[in-house]
Structure 1
Amino acid sequence: MHSLIKNGLVIDTEPEPVVLGHADVRVEDGVITEVGRDLPEARGAEVAQVIDATGRIVLPGFVDTHRHTWQAGIRAAGPDVDFPQYMRRVFDELAPRHRPQDVYAGTLAGALECLDAGITTLLDWSHAQFTPEHTGASVRALRESGIRAVFGYCYGGPPGGLVAETRRVRETLFDTPGLVGMAMAALGPEIAEEKRVLEEWRLAEELGLPVTAHLGGHGRENAVKGLAFLEEHGLLAVPTTFVHALHYTDEEFRRIAAAGGTASVSPVDEMNLGLGYPTTGRARAAGVPTSLSADTVVCAPGDMFSQMRTAHLLERGRPDGAGLGFTTRDALRLATIEGAEVLGLAGVVGSLRPGKQADLVLLRTDTFGMAAAHDPIGAVVLNADTSVVETVMVAGRVVKRGGQLLHHDPAAVRTALAETAAAMAGA
C-alpha cells in the first residue's frame, strides 16, 4: 500500500530534532521514500492513499527500550512501594500466578497500549518465561499486536536449562525475519551467579543477540563489581544496554561508551522506587547513547510523553545545576532516534529519513492543550498526552486512525486483561 501524508507540520529527528514546517511524507511498500512540499498524489502508475494531516504534527514513532509488557494485568499494583517492596509484591506474589494465557493477555494489552500512545517500537523485557508455553504466548502476543518489537528473553525455567531453551527459542520462534526480533534479557552480575552470567553473554554472542540487563541500578558497590566482572571477562564485546545505569561515575560511563554500551533510563519509576536520580545527562555527556523507557505500569505511567517530561524536568532540575543545557529537543531525541540507536535499529526507524521504515505518528493540535504552540517540539514534550495521538503507522500499515486502534477488538482485549487482574487479586 502506498500512502501520502499531506500537509502536516513535520518534525524530523535525525541527526537532531528539527521542525521542517508544513510538508508531505510519501510511503511506498512500508518505506519512507520522500519528504517534501506539495508532493503529487500519483507517482508513476501508482496512486497513493492520501492521509490529510492538516492541523496535525507528523513525527517518527516513539521507541521504548525497556518495558515489562506482561505486567499490564497488574497495573498500579504497587503505586507507592520502594524497590524491595516491588520485588516482593511482583516476583514473590504475583508473577508465579501468571499462566501462559495471563502473560499473553498482558503482553497483547501492553503492546496495544504502546501503539495507542504512539510508541511504535518496543523492547519487551520479558522475565515471566517460566515455561516454553509462556514464551510462545509472549511472542504470539507481540506479533499479533502489530507493534515493532524486540523480545527480550529472560529464561525463568528450571536450573540448568538456560542454554538449551534459549537456543530453542532463537531457532524455532525467530528463524525468519519480521517485525519482532530477539535479544538476551540477562539477569546479569548484580543479580545472578557467575555461571549464569557467563552463559548469558557467551550464548548471546554465539546466537548474534544483543544483551539488555539491569546494570548499575542496585547501589554503588554492586555497580562497581558488576562492571568490573563484565570487563574482566571480555563480555562487553557483546552489544549491551545498561538498564537504569544509576550508580556509575563519569569515568565509568566513558568506559561503557568506549566498549559500545548503551543506556536505558526509566525516569519515573527510578525516582518512584527510590532507585536513584536518573543519570540521563551524565551518560550522554560521556558518549553513551541513551534512551527512555516506561519499565513497568505497576508503579509508573506507560506513555512516552510522561517519560520525556520527567526526564526533561529532572535533568534541568539537577541539584548541581549542570542539567540546564538539556532541552526539549534532547528529550524528543531520546524518545526517537537515540532510542532506535540503543536497540540497534537506527538504520531502520527513529527518524523520517527516506529509506527507513514508515513508523509514524500524527498528533492533533486542535485541542486547548496543543493549540497555538510557538515551538512544536516543546509542545510535543511538555504539552501533549495520549489523547492527541490520532494516527499511528508501523511499517506503512495504519494501526490507529481517527483516535481508534484498528485490527483488534479493544473490548475483548480488555476483558481478557480483566480476567488476569481478577486471577491476581487474591495474591
Structure 2
Amino acid sequence: MTSLLLRNGLVIDTVPAPAVLGHADVLIEDDRITAVGPERQAPPGTEVIDATGHIVVPGFVDTHRHTWQAGIRAILPDSTLPAYVDRVIRDLAPRYRPDDVYTGTLAGALECLDSGVTTLVDWSHIQLGPGHTDAAVAALRASGVRAVFAYCYGADDDLGALAAETTRVRREYFDTPGGTVTMSMAAAGPEIAGEERALLEWRLARDLALPVTTHMGGYGAESAARGLAFLDANGLMEHPTMYVHANFYTGETFERIAAHGGTVSVAPGIEAALDIGPPPTGRARAAGVPTGLGADTVVSGPGDMFSVMRAAYFLERGRPDGAGLRFTAADALRMATIEGAEAAGLADVTGSLTPGKKADVLVLRTDTLGVAAAHDPIAAVVLAADTRNVDTVLVGGRAVKRGGALQGHDVPSLLTSLTASAGRLTAA
C-alpha cells in the first residue's frame, strides 16, 4: 500500500455544500481518500506534501467537452451555432485522421488536467471509423484523466452499423469494470438525428448498460418540447440521461426530468457566445436537477473550469429583474465539483473529499497577485484563481501535475504534433 499526506492545507470540501474546513490534512492510501482532519497520523513511509499556504479542494468535473477539438482552438470566435455546425462538423471534422484524433484528444485531456479538471465527460462525435475510436480511447487512457468516453457513432446513417459498432466498442474497450475511463452513449437524439435513430440509441444504451448524454433542449422551444415528448412517449426518460444545452426547457420540464432521475450539463460560456440561449442554470437547479458545468468547445471559448465557473456565476446573477441574485460563488463551485459528479453519474467516485472516494484532489497556490489576501477562500477559487494557481493535481492519488508542471508527458513534442495536425486540418 502506498500513502500520501497533504499536510496543513486550507481545505474546502463540497458535501453537502461547499464549506471551508480550515487548515487540515488529507490522507490518501493507494487511490482513495482515507481521512481528512487536523494533524492526521500517517503510516510509516508516507510521502508528505506540505500544503501550507495552499488551498486543497476536490478536482473539477467537466460534464461536457468535445476534447478532440484542441487542434482547432479559437478558429471560430464571435460566431453562432449554425456557423459552428457548418465550419466544424461539416467542413473540418471529415478531414480528421485517427492520428489527428489522438493528438487533439490527448492535448485536450492534458489541458483539463493542467487547469484542475480531474474528471471529464468527453462527448466524442469524431467517430468516423474504428481507427478514430481506437485513437480517442488510447489518448484518454494515456493522459491520466478520469473520463467518461461518450461515444457518438458518426461514420454514416446506417442504423445497423451504428448498433454493431457501438456494441463492439462497449465489449472491446469497456467490458472489464474499473479503470479511469468508462463509457456512455453520446446520443445524437431526436432533435438532431431524428426519432428513428434516437429510439435505437436509447434502447441500445439500455441493452449495453450505458448511461446517455445528449444534446437536447437547445434548438428552440418547440423542438425542445417535441423531443422530450418523444422520449416520454417511448418510455425513454427513465433511462439515466444527461441533457446538454437544455436552454429552452421550462421549470415544469425540469421537474419532470428530476422526477425521472435525469441530469443537466450547462456550458454557460458557449451557450452565450454561440447564441444557443440563456443558460438554464437557475431553473434546472431550482427544480432539483443535478446540474454540472462544461467547457464544451475551445473552438469558440475557453477550456479551463475557472473561466466556466465565472461565466456561470455572472450570467446567472445577471438574469433580468434580479432572478439569479441568490446564486453564489459556492453554488458555482458545487456545480464544478460534486454536482458535476452527480450529473455525470460519478458522485460515488469523485467530486468531494469524502473518505472512501477516489483521491481526485487539487492543491492551489495562493501566493499570486490575483489571489493573495483573498478573504473568502471559496470566492478566491471561483472568482480569482486561474490555471497558474494549479500547483498539484491528483487523479486516484497519482500526481499528474506537481509543482506547476504536468508529469509523465513530453508536452513540447505533443504541442509540435498538435501544431502540425492543426496546419493540415485547416489548410485550404
TM-score, shorter chain, exceeding 0.5: yes
How far apart are residue 246 of structure 1 and its match?
0.2
Q: Does 1:388 align with 2:382?
A: no
Indicate the residue corresponding to 1:169 in structure 2.
169
- Superposed CA offset, 1:320-375 (max 9, x none): 31111100000000000000001111011000000000000011000111111110
Indicate the residue corresponding to 1:347 in structure 2.
348
Spell out the pairing of 1:73-112 with structure 2 (5 A cutoff): 73-112=71-110
For 1:86 and 1:339, how far apart are their aligned partners in 2? 25
For 1:220 and 1:415, how far apart are their aligned partners in 2? 44
Classify the secondary structure of the residue corresponding to 1:391. Answer: strand
How far apart are residue 317 of structure 1 and its match?
0.8
Indicate the residue corresponding to 1:149 in structure 2.
147
Indicate the residue corresponding to 1:311 in structure 2.
312
How far apart are residue 425 of structure 1 and its match?
2.0
Indicate the residue corresponding to 1:70 in structure 2.
68
Classify the secondary structure of the residue corresponding to 2:322. Answer: coil
Q: Match for 1:124: what amino acid? A: D
Indicate the residue corresponding to 1:407 in structure 2.
408
Spell out the pairing of 1:348-387 with structure 2 (5 A cutoff): 348-387=349-388
For 1:116 and 1:184, how far apart are their aligned partners in 2? 27
How far apart are residue 38 of structure 1 and its match?
1.0
Q: Which consecutive unaligned segments of at least 5 residues does structure 1 have?
A: none
- Superposed CA offset, 1:10-58 (max 9, x none): 0000110000000000000110000011123x42xx4210001011000
For 1:422 and 1:248, how far apart are their aligned partners in 2? 40
Q: CA RMSD in A?
A: 0.7
How far apart are residue 193 of structure 1 and its match?
2.0
How far apart are residue 415 of structure 1 and its match?
1.0
Classify the secondary structure of the residue corresponding to 1:89. Answer: helix
Indicate the residue corresponding to 2:119 in structure 1.
121
Q: Match for 2:76: what amino acid? A: G
Percent identity between matched residues is 64
Indicate the residue corresponding to 2:227 in structure 1.
226
- Superposed CA offset, 1:212-269 (max 9, x none): 0000001111101000000000011110000010001111111111111100000001
Q: Match for 2:124: what amino acid? A: S
How far apart are residue 406 of structure 1 and its match?
0.3
Indicate the residue corresponding to 1:7 in structure 2.
8
For 1:167 and 1:73, how far apart are their aligned partners in 2? 29
Which structure 1 residue ranges, 4+ long, deviate > 4 Å from structure 2?
A: none
Q: Which consecutive unaligned segments of at least 5 residues does structure 2 have?
A: none
Classify the secondary structure of the residue corresponding to 2:364. Answer: strand
For 2:195 and 2:283, how far apart are their aligned partners in 1? 29
For 1:388 and 1:224, how far apart are their aligned partners in 2? 43
Q: How many residues align?
A: 424
For 1:73 and 1:259, how far apart are their aligned partners in 2? 38
For 1:320 and 1:295, how far apart are their aligned partners in 2? 28
Indicate the residue corresponding to 2:45 in structure 1.
47
Classify the secondary structure of the residue corresponding to 1:7. Answer: strand
- Superposed CA offset, 1:277-329 (max 9, x none): 10101100011110100000000100000111111101111013111110000
Q: Does 1:282 align with 2:277?
A: no
Moved more, 6-15 or 187-196: 187-196
| TM value normalised by structure 1 | 0.98
Indicate the residue corresponding to 2:22 in structure 1.
21
Q: Does 1:139 align with 2:146?
A: no
Classify the secondary structure of the residue corresponding to 2:408. Answer: coil
Q: Match for 2:175: what amino acid? A: D
For 2:19 and 2:409, how far apart are their aligned partners in 1? 34
Q: Does 1:255 align with 2:256?
A: yes
Q: Match for 1:88: what amino acid? A: D
For 2:269 and 2:109, how far apart are their aligned partners in 1? 19
For 1:49 and 1:272, how far apart are their aligned partners in 2? 45
Classify the secondary structure of the residue corresponding to 2:215. Answer: strand
Indicate the residue corresponding to 2:197 in structure 1.
196
For 1:316 and 1:295, how far apart are their aligned partners in 2? 21
Classify the secondary structure of the residue corresponding to 2:373. Answer: coil
Moved more, 318-327 or 124-133: 318-327
For 1:30 and 1:260, how far apart are their aligned partners in 2? 29
Moved more, 144-153 or 416-425: 416-425
Classify the secondary structure of the residue corresponding to 2:321. Answer: coil
For 2:425 and 2:201, how far apart are their aligned partners in 1? 31
